[in-house]
């Protein structure tokens, strides 16, 4: 009898837990966080809409032999991040080599960058396998997309001059498409701005060609949004009828930047334990080492370096921490939420903060200084985000269909392949509607690949790399984005601003200093023999008529040089009278 009661109680409990999948707003991570059918991970890829890698030489997406599952039904949580431009961006499937299966990258609350719209990535079949095409943030004012040939190998070598001050960061150069060829645009020093993280220009590979993504200003990690932990689902778990999922474990942004890696071959950032040597052999790079080479740029690490610019030991500490965790396995953070919950307290006593994830309920109620603030999500708004999820999927399918219409990439010498594109369902409001103190630019960035001027006088189409300094923000107005993001003219590249300013001062002081120097040095000529002086005097008057003849050819913008001529002519009689006085 007792065994039957236990069996009945267990059946009712299992039925109640399984029925939670049918109720919107329930979170499976709180019930079966450590089962074989579901495991919440405290490491894995970061949602591309939150952060995407930047490579100098874009590569094709990874290939896998397993077909990705259909996207699951994901419902945003009941607590929404506060902000006037915050939206819910759905999750997607990502391949994980350690699991040898797909894992679900949970959706995120995202504070949209001004003037940008999200173009989601997708999986597609390619040569009997399945390949990933990365998403990107496009300009909201672009009504068409241009698919370009593969850009040449990057010649970016970093800065060759010192920064104007420690308030500047280097923006790498890149290739720009013009008419039928590429031209190189050199890097420059860009002045940093508090609470804004600049994302340099880059290219994204697609099946139809390469898409140029111009540079833009984004929020730093601390105020960019909310990242939820990825989840591993068993196929029998999410394939049940009526299954839905709501993420509830928030990744701590203050901690995960200390365990941040880049995998440019996949276009993703990774957080957590990827310290083992085999990961570096598989294309994972520690954040401190990625900027030091010629592979690409890490804007997150660049902004952190700028924030800690007055701490000369900060970068060395990052290297030391990585090397220590690489050599000591017990110093690495756990891989799962269940393992994180049973970590020994002695680790915290040794100063190891492994709180990579926390429940959303705890984070939403914490009101500490600098912490993100949340508000309850009403049902109409939640239904709107659910409907928007369907629009995002349709938009991604339309992108996949559009980029699969052409099998071969455009070649050099051909015009760009332009196609009209619809507006993304996830688009920031126009920058004119954003508060001026929250907007880094007066207008959205409108750089597109077809605008640069490639007439540099070089048959190879390569411009010499020049170092340009971003103009400081004007007092009394919102800092505007440097004009170097727009395509510069060849003259501006070949003649940097500091060189033009250095030419004008000598012209202004030349007339006033010419005469005194000659009159002061006249007595020193007594040591010269008299015959040489008499022979030299007839030649000087003959040279004077040539100067007035050259004046009409010079531009009228140099009146100071013309006024200086009478002073030189008046000085000649004094020199001619000098020899008779010395003969007496």
pLDDT score of 86 more than 50: yes
- 90 pLDDT more than 60: yes
Q: Could you tell me which residue, 366 or 3, shows the higher pLDDT?
A: 366
Paired tokens of 574: 């004094």
* Strand partners of residue 44: 271
pLDDT per residue over 140-177, tens digit each? 998 899 999 999 999 998 888 899 999 999 999 999 99
Find the mean pLDDT for residues 252-273: 92
Locate tokens 């912490």: which residue? Answer: 371
| pLDDT score of 75 more than 50 | yes
Number of neighbouring beta carbons within 10 Å of residue 494? 14
Q: What is the DSSP letter of 503?
A: T
Cβ neighbours of residue 101 under 8 Å, at least 6 residues apart?
A: 66, 95, 232
Can you name the residues that pair with 176 across neighbouring β-strands?
Answer: 183
Question: Which residue did the predictor score with more confidence, 171 or 30?
Answer: 171
Model confidence band, residue 242 (pLDDT cutoffs 50, 70, 90): confident
| pLDDT top residue among 5 and 394 | 394
**Per-residue pLDDT averaged across 46-70, rounded?**
94
> Tell me: the pLDDT tens digits for 524-578?
444 434 444 444 444 444 444 444 444 444 444 444 444 444 444 444 444 444 4
Burial of 513 (0-12, 13-18, 19+ CB in 10 A): exposed
Q: What is the distance between the alpha carbons of residues 370 and 222, in angstroms, rounded to a whole number?
A: 9
Phi, psi of 277 (to 5 degrees): -60, -30
The string of DSSP letters for 401-454 reads: HHHTS-SSPPPTTSPPEEEE-PPPSSBPPPGGGS-GGG-S-SS-----TT----
| pTM for this model (two decimals) | 0.71
Cα–Cα distance for residue pair 263/80, rounded to 1 Å: 30
Where residue 520 falls among pLDDT bands split at 50, 70, 90? very low
Residue 502: pLDDT over 90: no
| Token code pair at residue 129 | 């396998």
Task: Give the β-pairing of 129-133 and 260-263.
Answer: unpaired
Torsion angle of the four alpha carbons 523, 527, 531, 535, in this order, in degrees rounded to the nearest 10: -50
- pLDDT higher than threshold 60 for residue 465: no
pLDDT at 97 over 80: yes
Kindly provide the residue ranges of all beta strands, DSSP E only, lying in 120-187, ordered along the sequence: 122-126, 129-133, 136-139, 144-147, 168-171, 174-178, 181-185
User: Which tens digit of pLDDT belongs to each residue from 404-449?
Assistant: 865 455 555 566 788 998 999 999 976 544 444 445 544 333 332 3
Q: Give 523-561 as a DSSP string.
A: GGGGGS-HHHHHHHHHHHHHHTTHHHHHTTTS-TT-HHH
**pLDDT value for 120:** 97
- 584 — pLDDT class (breaks 50, 70, 90): very low
Tokens of 407: 């099998």
pLDDT at 232 over 50: yes
Residue 511 has pLDDT above 90, yes or no: no
E strands in 33-152 = 38-40, 44-45, 54-55, 63-64, 79-81, 86-89, 92-96, 101-105, 108-111, 116-119, 122-126, 129-133, 136-139, 144-147
36 contacts: CB under 8 Å, gap ≥ 6 = 234
Share of the chain above pLDDT 70, in %: 62
Question: Token pair of 316, please?
Answer: 């060395």
Per the CB < 8 A criterion, the answer to whether 419 and 402 are in contact is yes
Contact 182, 176 (CB under 8 A): yes
| Helix (H) or strand (E) run with residue 494 in it | helix 490-494
Instruction: State residue 532's pLDDT score.
Output: 42
Digit-coded pLDDT (tens) for 291-349: 776 789 999 999 999 999 999 999 999 999 999 999 999 899 999 998 887 655 545 44
* pLDDT in the model for residue 366: 77
Q: How confident is the prediction for the chain on average, in pLDDT?
A: 74
Instruction: Tell me the C-alpha distance between 273 and 170, whole Å.
Output: 29
> Residues 26-42: what's their mean pLDDT?
62
Structure tokens at 282: 């598989």
* Residues 184, 34: Cα–Cα separation, whole Å: 52
d(CA 55, CA 138): 17
pLDDT per residue over 107-127, tens digit each? 999 999 999 999 999 999 988
CA distance 175 to 461: 10
**Are 131 and 122 within 8 A, CB to CB?**
no
Instruction: With cut-offs at 50, 70 and 90, classify the pLDDT of residue 352.
Output: low
Residue appearing with tokens 């993001």? 485
CA torsion through residues 66, 391, 117, 438, sign: negative
């Amino acid at each position: 009898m007792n065994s039957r009661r236990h069996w009945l109680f267990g059946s009712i409990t299992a039925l109640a837990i399984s029925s939670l999948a049918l109720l919107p707003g329930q979170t499976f991570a709180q019930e079966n966080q450590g089962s074989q059918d579901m495991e919440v991970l405290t490491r894995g890829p970061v949602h591309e809409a939150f952060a995407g890698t930047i490579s100098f030489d874009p590569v094709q997406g990874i290939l896998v032999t397993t077909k990705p599952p259909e996207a699951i039904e994901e419902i945003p949580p009941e607590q929404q991040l506060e902000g006037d431009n915050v939206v819910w961006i759905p999750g997607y499937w990502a391949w994980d080599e350690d699991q040898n299966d797909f894992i679900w990258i949970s959706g995120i609350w995202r504070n949209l960058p001004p003037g940008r719209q999200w173009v989601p990535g997708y999986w597609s079949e390619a040569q009997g396998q399945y390949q990933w095409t990365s998403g990107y943030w496009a300009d909201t004012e672009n009504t068409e997309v241009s698919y370009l040939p593969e850009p040449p190998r990057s010649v970016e070598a970093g800065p060759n001059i010192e920064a104007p001050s420690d308030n500047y960061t280097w923006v790498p150069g890149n290739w720009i498409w013009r008419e039928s060829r590429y031209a190189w645009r050199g890097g420059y020093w860009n002045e940093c701005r508090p609470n804004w993280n600049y994302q340099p220009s880059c290219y994204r590979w697609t099946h139809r060609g390469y898409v140029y993504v111009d540079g833009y200003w984004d929020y730093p990690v601390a105020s960019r949004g909310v990242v939820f932990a990825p989840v591993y689902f068993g196929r029998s778990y999410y394939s049940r009828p009526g299954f839905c999922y709501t993420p509830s474990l928030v990744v701590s942004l203050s901690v995960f930047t200390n365990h941040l890696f880049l995998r440019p071959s996949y276009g993703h950032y990774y957080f957590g334990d990827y310290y083992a040597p085999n990961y570096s052999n598989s294309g994972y790079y520690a954040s401190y080492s990625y900027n030091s080479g010629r592979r690409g740029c890490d804007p997150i690490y660049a902004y952190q370096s700028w924030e800690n610019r007055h701490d000369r030991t900060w970068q060395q500490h990052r290297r030391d921490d990585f090397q220590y965790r690489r050599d000591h396995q017990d110093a690495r953070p756990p891989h799962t939420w269940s393992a994180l919950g049973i970590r020994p307290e002695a680790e915290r006593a040794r100063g190891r903060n492994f709180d990579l994830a926390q429940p959303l309920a705890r984070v939403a109620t914490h009101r500490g200084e600098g912490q993100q603030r949340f508000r309850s999500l009403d049902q109409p708004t939640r239904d709107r985000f659910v409907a928007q999820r369907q629009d995002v999927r349709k938009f991604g399918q339309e992108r996949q269909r559009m980029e699969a219409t052409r099998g071969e990439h455009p070649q050099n010498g051909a015009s760009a392949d332009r196609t009209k594109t619809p507006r993304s369902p996830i688009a920031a409001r126009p920058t004119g509607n954003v508060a001026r103190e929250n907007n880094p630019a007066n207008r959205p960035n409108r750089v597109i690949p077809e605008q640069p001027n490639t007439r540099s006088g070089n048959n190879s189409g390569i411009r010499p790399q020049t170092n340009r300094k971003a103009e400081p923000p004007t007092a009394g107005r919102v800092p505007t984005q440097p004009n170097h993001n727009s395509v510069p003219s060849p003259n501006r590249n070949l003649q940097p601003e500091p060189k033009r300013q250095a030419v004008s001062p000598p012209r202004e002081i030349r007339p006033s200093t010419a005469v005194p120097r000659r009159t002061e040095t006249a007595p020193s000529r007594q040591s010269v023999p008299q015959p040489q002086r008499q022979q030299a005097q007839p030649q000087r008057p003959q040279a004077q008529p040539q100067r007035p003849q050259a004046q009409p050819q010079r531009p009228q913008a140099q009146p100071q040089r013309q006024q200086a001529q009478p002073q030189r002519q008046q000085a000649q009689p004094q020199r001619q009278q000098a020899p008779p006085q010395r003969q007496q």
